[in-house]
Amino acid sequence: MLTIINEMERCAREKKRGILATVIRVEGSTYQKEGAKCFIAEDGELIGLLSGGCVENDIIEHGKEVLQTEKPKKIYYDFRDEGDQIWGLGVGCNGAIEIFLELYDPKSHPEKCQLMKEAFTTSKSKIIATVIEAGDESKISEKWIFSVEKECISFEQVGEETNQLSRLKKRKSKLVTVDVNTKVFFDYVDPVPSLFIFGAGPDAVPLVKIVKNLGWKVKVIDHRPGFVNEKNFPLADELICYQKSESPDVPINENAYAVVMSHHFIQDQIVLESLLKSAIPYIGVLGPVTRTKQLLQPIVNRYSIDELKLDRIYSPIGIDIGAKHPEEIALSIASELVNVHREGNSLHLKHTKGESILADDQIKSVIAY
């Protein structure tokens, strides 16, 4: 999503038009689900995929029509029978997708483009309600933005007809029939996740590359100016150098993830304590679990176990893929980040190779170390 956001922001700066294409309905087995997007700038290339590359060229052609007419459009692809042979695709996805194309025009419609930017660049989860069908065609493509609170969201502003759907579960985009003439697409938008890498050693370089390729924001933090610089990390979104023996002052929210890998015991300890006092959901610590226990020893003496929420710590870090080389270890760590972020089911090294640091006897052994 970050690449799409960047392209939309470029279009806004340069007053260029574009087309935002969103999957609003799927049937059967498909490459993407509801909410998947791609973007086509009038002077650029298609960013993002809605299929395995099967229909993107056709989407571009439909996008040209939307640019010309300045009217939104729905397109439908059904790959469940021989009909897709018309396209010469033969994809065999055994499913169907419906896609909504809408104009992105920062020059003529700055308010709408700003609304879209706010929704996609938010640090909090949002739901964008977009009118897909309406008796009054001028209403099509109108939008509202709602904050996601806990497990549900209220949509009363869209219309009284949606009261029966006033609670929509998180992480689920859905096309809703409001009445005989009106359909609204409720699009759950996750903020772009951020990775904070505490440690700018050579083993952080491949991790930055992989995570940036995933479309995440990456910040590298270190107390050594000779390490944390643009030469070593040209892809990083931000480079932060802080004073040795001090806690780095960086804003961390609940949508951030952290990896502690400076290989400097005291600095790792300072950083780990700072992270445990935040709301961050994931703290990966490079190295064996024995070292992590040593890092934790003075920290667990100062805080209650419930307050620290030690289950956020992943040590050893990574998914169990048998990684050995720096690039493989980076892949293992990146896989774990995705697994935690997407609530996947892969096996973590902390479960297969590590020892629990949460059990009472383990905590006692840490304190008594």
- Whether residue 49 contacts residue 86, with contact meaning beta carbons closer than 8 Å, is answered with no
Q: Map residue 27 onto helix, strand or coil.
A: strand
Residue 368: which residues within 8 A CB-CB, separation 6 or more? none
d(CA 352, CA 333) in angstroms, rounded, equals 15
Q: With a cut of 50, say whether residue 73 has pLDDT above it.
A: yes
CATH class, 194-367 region = alpha beta
Average pLDDT over every residue of 101-108 = 92
pLDDT in tens, 141-187: 988 887 765 444 444 545 544 444 445 555 678 898 888 888 999 88
Longest Cα separation, the chain: 73
60-70: buried (b, 16+ CB within 10 Å) or exposed (e) per residue? Answer: eebbeebbeee
* High-pLDDT (> 70) share of the chain, %: 86
Report the 10 Å Cβ neighbour count for 44: 13
Reported pTM: 0.78
Phi then psi for residue 100, to 5 deg, are -110, 125
Q: What residue ranges do the domains of the chain occupy?
A: 2-189, 194-367
**Helices and strands: H and E segment counts in the chain:** 10, 15
pLDDT in the model for residue 355: 62
- Residue 368, both tokens: 């008594």
Mean pLDDT calculated for residue range 16-40: 89
For the chain, give the mean pLDDT. 84
Q: If residue 335 lies in a helix (H) or strand (E), which one and from where to where?
A: helix 326-341
**CA atoms lying within 13 Å on the CB side of residue 116:** 29
Contact 267, 285 (CB under 8 A): no
Two tokens, residue 120:
């996609």
For helices 110-120 and 2-14, what crossing angle results, to 10°?
A: 150
pLDDT at 87: 46
SS3 76: strand
> How confident is the model at residue 268, as a pLDDT?
94
- Residue 307 has a pLDDT of 78
Q: Is the four-CA dihedral 323, 326, 331, 334 of positive or negative sign?
A: positive
Arithmetic mean of pLDDT, 343-359: 76
What's the pLDDT band for 88 if we cut at 50, 70, 90?
Answer: very low
Residues 252 and 262: their CA atoms lie apart, in Å, by 18
Flag whether pLDDT at 110 surpasses 50.
Answer: yes
| pLDDT attached to residue 22 | 93
φ/ψ of residue 210, rounded to 5: -65, -45
Q: Cα separation of 348 and 284, whole Å?
A: 11
Q: How confident is the model at residue 354 (pLDDT cuts 50, 70, 90)?
A: low
Q: In what order do the strands lie in the sheet with 217-222?
A: 238-241, 217-222, 194-198, 256-260, 282-285, 313-314
What is the Cβ-side half-sphere exposure of residue 113, based on CA atoms within 13 angstroms? 21
Kindly give the residue spans of alpha helices, DSSP state H, lying in the chain.
2-14, 56-69, 110-120, 204-213, 265-276, 289-302, 305-308, 326-341, 349-352, 360-367
How far apart are alpha carbons 311 and 61 in whole angstroms? Answer: 50
Q: Mention every residue, 6+ apart, whose C-beta is less than 8 A from residue 305.
A: 358, 363
Structure tokens at 355: 């020892």
Q: What is the pLDDT of residue 271?
A: 95
Q: Output the CA torsion 319→320→324→328 (10° steps).
A: -40
The conformation of residue 192, written as its DSSP 8-state character, comes to P
Name the residue type at position 233: F
pLDDT of residue 109: 87
Nearest by Cα to 192 from 272, 112, 126? 126
Q: What is the pLDDT of residue 369?
A: 39
Per DSSP bridges, beta strands 256-260 and 194-198 are: parallel
Q: Please give the structure tokens belonging to residue 229.
A: 């610089």
